[in-house]
Amino acid sequence: NAGVTQTPKFQVLKTGQSMTLQCAQDMNHEYMSWYRQDPGMGLRLIHYSVGAGITDQGEVPNGYNVSRSTTEDFPLRLLSAAPSQTSVYFCASGTGPSYEQYFGPGTRLTVT
């Protein structure tokens, strides 16, 4: 099993550009989530999904979109990148009842 995979590992964007961060898991987990990690802030939940076709907002959803068409994939879309979105992004998956999170390796995104 590859676990949770994320692509790309690094990305630099210009302000206003859009892009999609990819996340996939091969553990048949129903729960998938996206976090951002900023210095001194810990991890903050952006969006999450409890199954294909179901998504919901977390703590910091503004500027991000998600969809969940399959159990395996949970892409995160930045609609119009802003410098405030410079961060490290983690995707995670989990299974019930506690949905303990298994994390991907992260994507370091810089918006200039």
Partner 1 sequence: AQTVTQSQPEMSVQEAETVTLSCTYDTSENNYYLFWYKQPPSRQMILVIRQEAYKQQNATENRFSVNFQKAAKSFSLKISDSQLGDTAMYFCAFMTTGNQFYFGTGTSLTVIP
Q: List contacts with partner 1 (CB under 8 A).
A: 31, 33, 35, 40-45, 48, 50, 56, 58-59, 88, 90, 92, 97-103, 105-106
Q: Among residues 2, 21, 4, which one has the least CA distance to residue 63? A: 21
Q: Which is nearer to partner 1, 7 or 18 (CB)?
A: 7
The tokens 């995979």 sit on which residue? 5
CB of 23 to partner 1, least distance (A): 14
CB of 25 to partner 1, least distance (A): 14
Sequence-distant (≥ 6) Cβ neighbours of residue 98 within 8 angstroms: none
The tokens 């048949």 sit on which residue? 28
Q: Which is nearer to partner 1, 85 or 107 (CB)?
A: 107
| Alpha carbon separation from 73 to 17, 28, 41, 57, 91 (Å, rounded) | 23, 10, 27, 17, 10
Q: Which is nearer to partner 1, 14 or 42 (CB)?
A: 42
CB of 103 to partner 1, least distance (A): 4
